[in-house]
Structure 1
Amino acid sequence: MIETIPLPTTHDPVDRAFWQGCKDGKLLIQSCRDCGHVQHPPRAMCPVCQSMELGWELVSGKGTIWSYTIPHPPLLPAFAAIAPYIVAVIVPDDFPAIRIVGALADPAGGTIGGITPDTVAIGAPVNLTFIQLVDDVALPCWFPAGNDGLPEKEKQQ
């Protein structure tokens, strides 16, 4: 558990379903019921057709690392205890137009961090996990898929 971590507001009508989904172990992406556009983070209106008729689509929980960074030093003191940790931009397999920012986490440890930088690469497959921060907030995080998380082309080199 990270002490004094800034927590999201989970009762905002724009993203309440997103946070409820996370609490229930489901990652949801907002979609427009009029034009089909998908978007993340959630917004009150579709940027394509300006519709406010928005719904939610379930994400499979599999994705690819599009980019990543290791914050040095952590920007907020609350994160110093888990440093170094990796923050990645993930492309979900079933929603390739979306980018989701999230921490990499060791699912066995139940906390952010625990993933070493040498097991992470752009293009590496990842799987979804959730880290419970407090009773009503579970944070979607990712961990390398397979033994080392490296793309097949890098395993063969």
Structure 2
Amino acid sequence: MPLPDADTAPYWEAAARGELALQRCDGCDAWRFPPRPGCPRCGSLASRWERASGRGTVWSFVVVHGPVLPAFAERVPFAVVLVELDEDPRLRVVGNLPGVAPARVRIGMRVEACFETVADGVALPQWRSAE
């Protein structure tokens, strides 16, 4: 389960509402992920949270064959994807891709965000095929 902190709490709150929200710099308007206090492009400490489209392209992926944690034992094999979001080609978000056989995952595949509720008020961002 995620343990939100001052930097990540808005991300997890949005996920619980079924939204993909990301930080955007007030200094240079750049999107950023993962959440952090300062902008890696211009150094500004001022930012805001904006809802992202949740659409993107698989930039890279790995297939997990052995459970890293006992909670995932019944899910293997599964794909973990790195998604390049439509908002910015330098903006990439990681997550799993349930419902797609690992052999069918490919770089360039179009995906969209979806959310799995794992506890009361806690949802994990994931991806589903948009093809």
Note whether the superposition's TM-score is higher than 0.5: yes
Structure 1 residue 17: Cα displacement: 0.7
Tell me the secondary structure at the aligned position of residue 74 of structure 2. Answer: helix
Residue segments in structure 1 that go unaligned for 5+ positions in a row: 1-6, 107-114, 147-157
- Name the structure with the higher strand share: 2
- Between the aligned partners of 1:45 and 1:102, the Cα distance in structure 2 is 23
Q: Percent identity?
A: 39
For normalisation by structure 2, the TM-score amounts to: 0.92
Residue segments in structure 2 that go unaligned for 5+ positions in a row: none
For normalisation by structure 1, the TM-score amounts to: 0.78
Work out which of the two has the higher radius of gyration on C-alpha atoms and give 1 or 2.
1
The one-letter code of the counterpart of 2:110 is: P
The one-letter code of the counterpart of 1:88 is: V
2:108 pairs with one of 98, 123, 126 = 123
Q: Is the 8 A contact 1:119 1:144 kept in 2?
A: no
The one-letter code of the counterpart of 2:13 is: Q
Q: Is the 8 A contact 2:77 2:102 kept in 1?
A: no
How many positions carry a matched residue from both structures?
131
- Between the aligned partners of 1:103 and 1:27, the Cα distance in structure 2 is 15
RMSD between superposed Cα atoms in Å? 1.3
Q: Is the 8 A contact 2:58 2:82 kept in 1?
A: yes
- Between the aligned partners of 1:127 and 1:46, the Cα distance in structure 2 is 25
Aligned to 2:97: 104
Structure 1 residue 141: Cα displacement: 0.5
